């Protein structure tokens, strides 16, 4: 397949969720209309759709409503079991409120509760849609912007002149190369490495894969947050169903909230997601499940969480009780950044759920959307400085075709005995079975062996058309990210936050450290570091 089009731009933004689109908005606001940077936005789906942001409950944790910065910092660190990067948590505390309320400039409104801002929305099911609609409208009306939606980014590579090349496959099956001074990766989280996840299917850790291939370090990859109440009814999506009141029972009719000493179901699903998820998996493992799940008898109350759950229950036509089992929800790990949100490649930035280090070993409810606006605002400031300072010269006219063909060559049509989709499903099942909520050395090693077996066979995957290229690229990213998670999980010989080792069930003071992973020429390298 030949390169059909080359685009030159100041910046390319990969991802159209809250973090990607708000980076553009903040950049324009900060530059006060003085610069109209030429921007290309690339998104796997239609602009803003198929994002976690769209499906979110629109709740932002932040120091408001009698909840001080000190309260916020101490709760975020406690949730993260004290391995968060403290400077980033402080940055969050300082900029949470102003970065969220800055979105009011787009016509959004927020209601205040203690420690929380919630976006006003007429849609009780997906309030996050409100955020997307406002940002979409802004970006669609913005001048000097090219939107490549339904377009898949295969890789980002560095040019010899310091610029970056984003290699895309468009909806029509043509390659487009965006050559820009800045690339912002806003590709979301890694929860979809697990067979049970509530993230949109299209999120396949592409940003994580791209960064690993660029040699950028990932950090805290062993920490995945599972939401305890995930739908486990056959033929229904494994979406979260966050009823805050009701009874969660096992086969014997025992209430798990009472049995495991939680204060209430509502508190457990906000503050103790990891512990409740573990208890549920343990109950199933000892044979107390009902067809491999637990039973939820919800109370139909009208608080923020339950109204969403109630709408979803209605929409999916679920009866009572609802079979539930934890579902992978959020990845705490991601690209390592410095205290100022720079990666180790000039001009390349990560924002939103792709950024590692903020949440430590577990994330506080509502703090993901806040991390999107804070990282976007800070990165926008960095970009402004970069484009008006260090890189204010024009891009070179020629395009580095050799670098580009190194990427596209791998996707040339070929026969093969395997289909990427089958391998993708296998990876997700392997991860769920062996490196899910309850892990131990034996299960993790088994997982790594199985993943390596797939890895050794990926050159036998057939590529015939656009869809095969995308699936193959997704498979590579899922595999690399799964291996990064598994190796980190094996290395951490303790339990902390969302990472639970049945063979090392205690938290160890000696492990107040982070695991950094890099990838070079087919091999992972690990370092244990103090954040």
Q: Considering the complex, what minimum distance in angstroms separates the CB of residue 131 from ligand FAD?
A: 8
Using CB under 6 A as the binding rule, whether residue 56 contacts ligand FAD is answered as: yes
Q: Tell me phi and psi for residue 457, to 5 degrees.
A: -110, 5
* Residues 457-486 close enough to bind ligand FAD by CB under 6 A: none
Q: Considering the complex, what minimum distance in angstroms separates the CB of residue 435 from ligand FAD?
A: 20
Look at residues 223, 190, 230 and name the one whose alpha carbon lies nearest to residue 206.
Answer: 190
Q: Considering the complex, what minimum distance in angstroms separates the CB of residue 120 from ligand FAD?
A: 14
Residue 75: helix, strand or coil by DSSP? Answer: helix
Look at residues 199, 169, 33, 59 and name the one whose alpha carbon lies nearest to residue 115.
Answer: 59
From residue 334 to residue 353, what is the string marking binding to ligand FAD with x (rule CB under 6 A)?
------------------xx
Q: Which of 368, 387, 404, 517 binds ligand FAD (CB under 6 A)?
A: 368
Q: Dig out the tokens for 495 from the structure.
A: 């339990």
Q: Considering the complex, what minimum distance in angstroms separates the CB of residue 365 from ligand FAD?
A: 7
Q: Which of 92, 369, 448, 479 binds ligand FAD (CB under 6 A)?
A: 369
Helical axes 86-101 vs 69-79, angle rounded to 10°: 130
Query: Long-range contacts of range 445-449, CB-CB < 8 Å, 24 or more positions apart?
Result: 445/490, 447/482, 447/486, 448/483, 448/486, 448/487, 448/490
Using CB under 6 A as the binding rule, whether residue 153 contacts ligand FAD is answered as: yes
* Residues 47, 74 contacting (CB under 8 angstroms): no
Q: Considering the complex, what minimum distance in angstroms separates the CB of residue 98 from ligand FAD?
A: 17
The overall longest dimension of the chain from CA atoms, in Å, is: 71
Q: Distance between CA 313 and CA 65 in Å, rounded?
A: 31
Using CB under 6 A as the binding rule, whether residue 96 contacts ligand FAD is answered as: no
Using CB under 6 A as the binding rule, whether residue 59 contacts ligand FAD is answered as: yes
Stretch of 180-188, 272-280, 458-466, 502-510 lying at the interface with ligand FAD (CB under 6 A): 180-188
Q: Specify the residue, 92 or 280, whose C-beta has the smaller distance to ligand FAD.
A: 92
Tally of CB atoms within 10 A around 113: 13
Q: Specify the residue, 16 or 488, whose C-beta has the smaller distance to ligand FAD.
A: 16
- The one-character DSSP state at 396 is P
Query: Long-range contacts of range 73-76, CB-CB < 8 Å, 24 or more positions apart?
Result: 75/115, 75/364, 76/359, 76/360, 76/364, 76/367
Using CB under 6 A as the binding rule, whether residue 362 contacts ligand FAD is answered as: no
Q: What is the edge-to-edge ordering of all strands in the sheet holding 59-61?
A: 59-61, 116-119, 110-113
Tally of CB atoms within 10 A around 276: 24
Q: Specify the residue, 233 or 255, whose C-beta has the smaller distance to ligand FAD.
A: 233
Query: Which residue in the shown chain puts its C-beta closest to ligand FAD?
Result: 17
Using CB under 6 A as the binding rule, whether residue 366 contacts ligand FAD is answered as: yes
Stretch of 49-57, 175-183, 280-288, 378-386 lying at the interface with ligand FAD (CB under 6 A): 49-57
Using CB under 6 A as the binding rule, whether residue 229 contacts ligand FAD is answered as: no
Q: Which residues, in sequence order, are CB contacts of 211 under 8 Å at separation 6+? A: 185, 218, 335, 343, 350, 354
Strand partners, 143: none
Stretch of 25-33, 341-349, 360-368, 410-418 lying at the interface with ligand FAD (CB under 6 A): 360-368
* Residues 255, 248 contacting (CB under 8 angstroms): yes
Say whether the peptide bond before residue 321 is cis (omega within 30 degrees of 0).
Answer: yes
Q: Dig out the tokens for 111 from the structure.
A: 């209601």
Q: Which of 95, 152, 181, 501 binds ligand FAD (CB under 6 A)?
A: 152
Q: Considering the complex, what minimum distance in angstroms separates the CB of residue 163 from ligand FAD?
A: 19
Stretch of 45-53, 68-76, 387-395, 446-454 lying at the interface with ligand FAD (CB under 6 A): 45-53
Using CB under 6 A as the binding rule, whether residue 330 contacts ligand FAD is answered as: yes
Q: Considering the complex, what minimum distance in angstroms separates the CB of residue 308 from ligand FAD?
A: 9
Q: Considering the complex, what minimum distance in angstroms separates the CB of residue 186 from ligand FAD?
A: 5
**Could you identify the residue written with the tokens 């109209």?**
36
Q: Considering the complex, what minimum distance in angstroms separates the CB of residue 440 from ligand FAD?
A: 28
- For 511, how many CA atoms within 13 A lie in the half-sphere containing its CB? 21
* Residues 182-221 close enough to bind ligand FAD by CB under 6 A: 186-189, 198-199, 202-203, 206
Q: Which of 27, 50, 62, 138 binds ligand FAD (CB under 6 A)?
A: 50
Q: Considering the complex, what minimum distance in angstroms separates the CB of residue 408 from ligand FAD?
A: 15
Using CB under 6 A as the binding rule, whether residue 326 contacts ligand FAD is answered as: no
Q: Specify the residue, 349 or 391, whose C-beta has the smaller distance to ligand FAD.
A: 349
Cα torsion 206, 212, 217, 221: sign: positive
Do the bridges between strand 218-219 and strand 175-185 make them parallel or antiparallel, or are there none, so unpaired? unpaired
Q: Specify the residue, 45 or 344, whose C-beta has the smaller distance to ligand FAD.
A: 45
- For 249, how many CA atoms within 13 A lie in the half-sphere containing its CB? 11
Q: Considering the complex, what minimum distance in angstroms separates the CB of residue 17 from ligand FAD?
A: 2
* Residues 8-27 close enough to bind ligand FAD by CB under 6 A: 14-20
* Residues 383, 183 contacting (CB under 8 angstroms): no
- The one-character DSSP state at 222 is T
Q: Distance between CA 23 and CA 374 in Å, rounded?
A: 10
From residue 236 to residue 275, what is the string marking binding to ligand FAD with x (rule CB under 6 A)?
----x-----------------------------------
Q: Considering the complex, what minimum distance in angstroms separates the CB of residue 504 from ligand FAD?
A: 28
Look at residues 459, 466, 414 and name the one whose alpha carbon lies nearest to residue 176.
Answer: 466
Q: Which residues, in sequence order, are CB contacts of 391 under 8 Å at separation 6+? A: 162, 181, 182, 346, 347
Q: Which residues bind ligand FAD (CB under 6 A)?
A: 14-20, 42-45, 50-53, 55-59, 152-153, 186-189, 198-199, 202-203, 206, 240, 330, 352-354, 366-369, 372
């Amino acid at each position: 397949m030949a390169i059909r089009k080359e685009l030159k731009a100041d910046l390319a933004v990969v991802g159209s969720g809250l973090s990607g689109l708000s980076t553009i908005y903040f950049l324009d606001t900060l530059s006060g209309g003085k610069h109209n940077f030429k921007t290309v936005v690339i998104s796997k789906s239609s602009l803003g759709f198929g994002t976690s942001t769209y499906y979110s409950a629109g709740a932002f944790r932040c120091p408001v409503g009698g909840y001080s910065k000190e309260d916020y910092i101490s709760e975020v660190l406690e949730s993260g079991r004290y391995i968060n990067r403290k400077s980033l948590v402080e940055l969050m505390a300082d900029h949470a409120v102003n970065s969220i309320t800055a979105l009011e400039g787009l016509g959004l409104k927020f209601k205040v509760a203690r420690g929380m801002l919630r976006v006003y929305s007429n849609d009780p099911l997906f309030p996050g849609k409100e955020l997307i609609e406002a940002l979409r409208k802004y970006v669609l009306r913005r001048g000097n912007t090219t939107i490549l939606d339904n377009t898949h980014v295969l890789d980002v590579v560095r040019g010899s002149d310091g610029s970056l090349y984003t290699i895309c496959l468009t909806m029509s099956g043509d390659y487009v190369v965006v050559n820009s001074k800045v690339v912002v990766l806003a590709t979301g989280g890694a929860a979809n490495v697990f067979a049970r996840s509530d993230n949109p299917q299209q999120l396949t850790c592409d940003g994580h894969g791209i960064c690993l291939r660029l040699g950028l370090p990932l950090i805290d990859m062993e920490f995945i947050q599972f939401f305890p109440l995930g739908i486990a009814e056959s033929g229904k999506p494994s979406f979260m169903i966050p009823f805050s009141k009701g009874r969660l029972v096992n086969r014997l009719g025992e209430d798990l909230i009472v049995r495991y000493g939680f204060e209430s179901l509502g508190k457990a699903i906000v503050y103790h997601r990891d512990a409740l998820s573990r208890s549920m998996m343990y109950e199933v493992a000892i044979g107390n499940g009902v067809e491999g799940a637990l039973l939820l008898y919800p109370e139909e109350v009208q608080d923020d969480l339950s109204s969403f759950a109630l709408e979803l229950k209605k929409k999916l036509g679920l009866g009572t009780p609802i079979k539930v089992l934890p579902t992978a929800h959020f990845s705490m790990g991601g690209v390592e950044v410095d205290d100022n949100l720079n990666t180790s490649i000039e001009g390349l930035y990560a924002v939103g759920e792709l950024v590692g280090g903020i949440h430590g070993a577990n994330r506080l409810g509502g703090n993901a959307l806040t991390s999107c606006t804070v990282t976007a605002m800070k990165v926008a400031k960095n970009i402004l400085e970069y484009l008006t300072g260090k890189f204010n010269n024009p891009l070179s006219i020629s395009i580095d075709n050799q670098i580009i063909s190194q990427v596209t060559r791998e996707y040339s049509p070929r026969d093969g005995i395997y289909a990427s989709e089958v391998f993708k499903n296998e990876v997700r099942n392997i991860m769920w079975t062996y490196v899910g909520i309850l892990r131990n050395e034996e299960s993790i090693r088994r997982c790594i062996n199985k993943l390596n077996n797939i890895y050794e066979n990926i050159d036998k995957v057939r590529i015939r058309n656009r869809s095969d290229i995308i699936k193959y690229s997704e498979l590579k990213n899922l595999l690399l990210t799964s291996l990064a998670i598994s190796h980190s999980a094996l290395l951490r010989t303790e339990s902390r936050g969302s990472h639970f080792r049945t063979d090392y069930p205690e938290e160890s003071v000696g492990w107040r450290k982070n695991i950094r992973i890099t990838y070079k020429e087919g091999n992972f390298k690990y370092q244990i570091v103090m954040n």
